[in-house]
Structure 1
Amino acid sequence: MSWLARLCAGACIVATSSLSPLHAQTYPDKPIRVIVSIAAGSVTDVIVRAAAKDLEAKLGQPLVIENRGGAAGILAGQACAQSAGDGYTLCVIYHSTMSYNPVQFDKLPYDADKDFVPVTRLFFLTEGLFVNADVPAKNVAELKALAQAKPAGLNFATLGNASFPDLFRVWLNNQWGTKIVGVPYKGGGPAAQALAANEVQLTRFGVGNFRGAMDAGKVRMIAIAADQRSKQFPDVPTLKEAGLDYPGQGWWGLAAPKGTPAPVVEKVNAAFVAVFSDPKFAEFLDKQLVVPAATGPADFAKFLKEDRKAAEDLVRTANTPKQEYKSQ
């Protein structure tokens, strides 16, 4: 290498190493894209959009929400992994993206361990088991009897093959000896609309997606996925009380593409933690039937490892073979 090349190489290294601190000082100086791994109108999308105003005030720049629903979060995960790690793309991820997809699929278009920088966990979902109001089952025992009488006669809304709702469907079929059919949707909102219209007869999703349909008498919740009954729905038994001792809990969090500078991650984390820890916003989250659970980046990274292990155990229990992902 000539002295000129060595000089240029050295200058480039110095310039590159000085980018991160300078970038962190001026960050953000333009709008920030937020990829949400679910369809518009779903409870997580509603929460992120509600938080955006306060987040924009703290970060000083607009947040541009981009919904990438479908394929159990794989499409959004791919979009995030292919984005620049400059702090101007943030990714709202969930249990399928980071925990279930890696243990259920080969040849994912992203690497859950290498392509993302954990920023913060945001909240845990309170999920429910729902049926269409016309389904002649008032409780889980009656639903089981109906499903066994018509082994392939019920449709179940999912987020795609091998998604968390679909995994529950497979587990139910294994437990009950049935053939309930999975039908994919791009989010809890579309799934709730499908259930209300009787396109599908049952599903398991975050409760917040179904409040309107329940209030309209089109959907009925027959069990809730929680350690104890909800104060808002005291007459609805937990899954365990109803005889479905199914492990696993849904969650949502925030990540950034690999290479995002640590000072930028810390700045974004501080803004999101402040908003999701605010008592007034916590009241809003409670109405959406979710539990705020913001963390620091290191704690979120530790949680992701533990949740992956839990996903591996659950997939093993559900006896679902790993399959090759085929792009959609």
Structure 2
Amino acid sequence: MTRSIRSFFARKMIVLCALAFGFANAQAAYPDRPIRIIVPIAPGSVTDVILRKASQPLSEELGQPIVIDNKAGGAGIIGAEACAKAVPDGYVVCAIYHATTSFNPLFYDRLPYDPDNDFAPITRLFFLTEGIAASSGTGVKSFADLTRYVKSNPDKVSFGTLGDQSVQQLMIGWMNRRLSSQIVGVAYKGGGPIATAIAANEIQLGQMGIGNFIAMKDAGKLNILTVNSQRRSPLLPDVPTMDELGLDGFDTRSWWGLAAPRGTPPGAVNRLHAAFKKVFENASFKAFLQSQYVEESLTSPAEFQTFIRQDRAKAQSLIKLYKN
């Protein structure tokens, strides 16, 4: 081999090594710009509060700003559509919940997103401890009081929901059967607005994550009648569980998780999973979650995918029982 040929191949090798090094650096550099989290519920709601609290430690972990983008309304459909149509480059993360992948596909014949094929699961985040709250203006302080109240006001009781096709609307169907009542639903864009409306007695009842209600409870503007957890909350020791009251039959647990648009590079999904896992499993952050009445419950992406499939089967059973 002549010196010129050897020189040619040497130059080629240098170029190839440089390209490989540059590619590796490009891969390792993710993320190199801000990451947007689409939240399909109103500001001030429990999930919004939690993700805003997480944004600073996540930013420190990922080395880039975290931007919360609320796209509330339509039982999470507006946010889910925005997620499905986003560029799958690792810079869009989507908060999803039981409505996104479990209930909406069963309630709606057509959705502007494909719940099975438009998302790349990252992790389940937490389960909500939910409860039924009543406006203090009603004088209702217990479920027994509520039973008497709805019988005395058969057509004057309204209940906050996240839309006609939502878990809360199913809850109304369950309560109307249980209490022989005519409670009607009124749609809002999140738990925060629902809590505010109950406190003002614009609506009389609601069932959301307990964290939405605490400030209004402490101000004496609403009462929490029951929680849907397996045992009483240590933060609300005087509030009975639904099982204690004999209110079985509405077996669902509300959850929230994270996904990315389908096609997001696996390396980005894994990086995001690792970052959220580190933040949400930090002892001080777990204490914060507890103060918001949620139970941290992280999974791997594969475990989350399996959970979503199983949860839809449970939703289907619930809809058959209680859809009006």
Change in Cα spacing, 1:161 to 1:22, as seen in structure 2 (3 Å) is farther
* Matched residue type, 1:253: G
Instruction: Give the alignment partner of residue 291 of structure 2, picking from 287, 307, 326.
Output: 287
Residue 82 of structure 2 is aligned to residue 79 of structure 1 = yes
Tell me which residue corresponds to 2:270: 266
2:35–2:92 CA contact under 8 A, matched in 1: yes
Q: Aligned residue for 2:55?
A: 52
What is the RMSD computed on CA atoms of the aligned residues?
1.5
Q: 2:313 matched to 1:309?
A: yes
Alignment correspondent of 1:212: 215
2:311 alignment partner AA: D
Structure 1 position 114 matched with structure 2 position 117: yes
Question: Among the aligned pairs, what percent are the same residue?
Answer: 47
Give deviations 1:68-105, integer Å, cap 9, x for gaps: 11111011011111111111111011111111111111
Q: Residue 151 of structure 2: SS of its match in structure 1?
A: helix
Q: Aligned AA for 1:172? A: M
Cα distance in 1 for partners of 2:111, 2:323 equals 20
- 1:247-273 CA distance string (max 9 Å, x none): 001111000001001111000000001
* Residue 317 of structure 1, CA deviation: 1.3
Say which SS state the counterpart of residue 121 (structure 1) adopts: strand
Distance in 1 of aligned mates of 2:198 and 2:141: 16
Map 1:1-328 onto structure 2 (within 5 A): 24-245=27-248, 246-320=250-324
Which structure is larger by alpha-carbon Rg, 1 or 2? 2
Would the aligned equivalents of 2:142 and 2:225 in 1 still touch at CA under 8 Å? Answer: yes
- Mark the runs of 5 or more structure 1 residues left unpaired by the alignment: 1-18, 321-328
Name the count of aligned residue pairs.
Answer: 302
Shift, 1:23, TM fit: 5.9
Taking structure 1 as reference, are residues 233 and 110 closer, same or farther at Cα in structure 2, changes over 3 Å only? same
Amino acid at match of 2:228: A
Residues 159 and 222 of structure 1: CA distance in aligned 2, closer, same or farther (over 3 Å): same
Distance apart, 1:140 and its partner CA: 1.2
Shift in Å, 1:145: 2.6
In the alignment, the residues of structure 2 paired with residue 300 and residue 193 of structure 1 have an alpha-carbon distance, to the nearest angstrom, of: 33
Alpha carbons 1:141, 1:242 under 8 Å: kept:
no
| Superposed displacement of residue 175, structure 1 | 2.5
Offset of residue 141 of structure 1: 2.3
SS of the aligned residue for 1:147 comes to: helix
The alpha carbon displacement at 1:164 in A equals 1.6
Whole-angstrom distance in 1 between the partners of 2:102 and 2:129: 18
Shift of 1:312: 0.7
